[in-house]
Amino acid sequence: MLKKTCLYELHIAAGGKMVDFGGWDMPLHYGSQLDEHHIVRQHVGMFDVSHMTVVDIAGEPGQPREYLERLLANDIAKCRTPGQAIYSCMLNADGGVIDDLIAYWISGDQYRLVVNAATRDKDILWLDAVAQDFDVTLAERPELAMIAVQGPAARERAAALLPADLGDASLALIPFHAAASDDAFVARTGYTGDVGFESILPEAAASDLWSRAQDAGIAPCGLGARDTLRLEAGLNLYGSDMDESTHPFESNLAWTVALDGDRDFVGASALRETDLDQRKLVGLLLEDKGVLRDHQPVLAADGDTVGEITSGGYSPTLERSIALARVQSDVGQYAEVQVRKRRLAARVVAPPFVRRGKVMIEL
């Protein structure tokens, strides 16, 4: 049986088309995926992301930070003020990506992780395994729900719906910073490449927030629009653009790895011994008519296969087909994609394609 978030009945009432997503019954769209994409880029929309896994970390003085320095490829020491966050990968001993996540320093020796829903079981096992060498306590928080409000009008519209003290604090937040009040938590993070908040709340408060936001004209949006938005933003999807068989440097995630110095995080030794320049993740802009899809081969001008599309689809903002593809590092500016029996011309570009509604590549 599929799991349901606390907002399930509200999705049904709003006409959500429900689908199985990693074992969760989640809305794909509420009528038009295209409209939902555009409303986030141009105004504001909201997503139920309560299927995500929240884990709080505490422990003896200094131990939680030492644990996270061992667990994460990025350095938690970059969080210099309470409420600050980093995006990071957890790696296996070979440098492969177990999962990507956001880590928040709450205050003192208290931290919070938000990890993916589809990888929840293996993530919890890995978190527990690494924790054996540290005096820390891990607490999964299934009683909490999570709502993302995204788009250029998100800050003002969402702040007005939050508790007064948290609403005021949220307006002062810069990206990758969070504020908390009692059981409510709001962060300047998101998965759309646009301005926005992600709020973590007790289930009853989340249901109330969702209903009031909908009454205030904030449109509910589904997984379909979330995927096209993140693809335009050049944001990786776990299981498609990276997994345990790939390392961060071939997944356009070198910026999330703090490899300088002698910090001994899991996977560091493997990365230091690996040829990190063999493959890379690039953007593709289709120049012929067609649609780019996952797993289509990418070819050089001489017909040799130089890689494969990891995520592909139609960009509503660009009105073109785009993709992320893992290719050989010496790929040129132009390539071709094998689509059934046709070879379609594509231009190799550096993602993101769109950031905060602005087109970032030359069309």
**Per-residue pLDDT at 301:** 84
**Per-residue pLDDT at 164:** 84
255 lies in the same domain as 122: yes
Mean per-residue pLDDT pooled into runs of 10, the chain (363 residues): 97 98 96 98 98 98 98 98 98 98 98 96 98 98 98 94 90 97 94 96 97 97 98 98 98 96 94 94 97 97 94 98 97 96 96 96 93
Residue appearing with tokens 């003085």 = 61
125 lies in the same domain as 99: yes
**Per-residue pLDDT at 251:** 98
In this prediction the pTM is 0.96
269 lies in the same domain as 339: no
Exposure of 304 by Cβ count < 10 A (0-12 exposed, 13-18 middle, 19+ buried)? exposed
Q: Which of 206, 239, 274 is the last residue of a domain?
A: 274
**Per-residue pLDDT at 29:** 98
227 lies in the same domain as 114: yes
CATH number of the domain where residue 73 is located: 3.30.1360.120
305 lies in the same domain as 330: yes
**Per-residue pLDDT at 112:** 98
288 lies in the same domain as 154: no
Q: Please compute, for residue 16, the number of CA atoms within 13 A of its CA located in the half-sphere on the CB side.
A: 24
103 lies in the same domain as 248: yes
Domain count, the chain: 2
Rounded to whole angstroms, the maximal C-alpha distance in the chain is 62
Where in the sequence is the domain holding 265, given as residue range(s)?
1-274
CATH number of the domain where residue 302 is located: 2.40.30.110
Mind listing the pLDDT tens digit for each residue in 246-284? 999 999 999 999 998 889 999 999 999 999 999 999 999
Q: Which of 224, 257, 274 is the last residue of a domain?
A: 274
Q: Which of 225, 250, 274 is the last residue of a domain?
A: 274
Strands 85-91 and 97-107: antiparallel
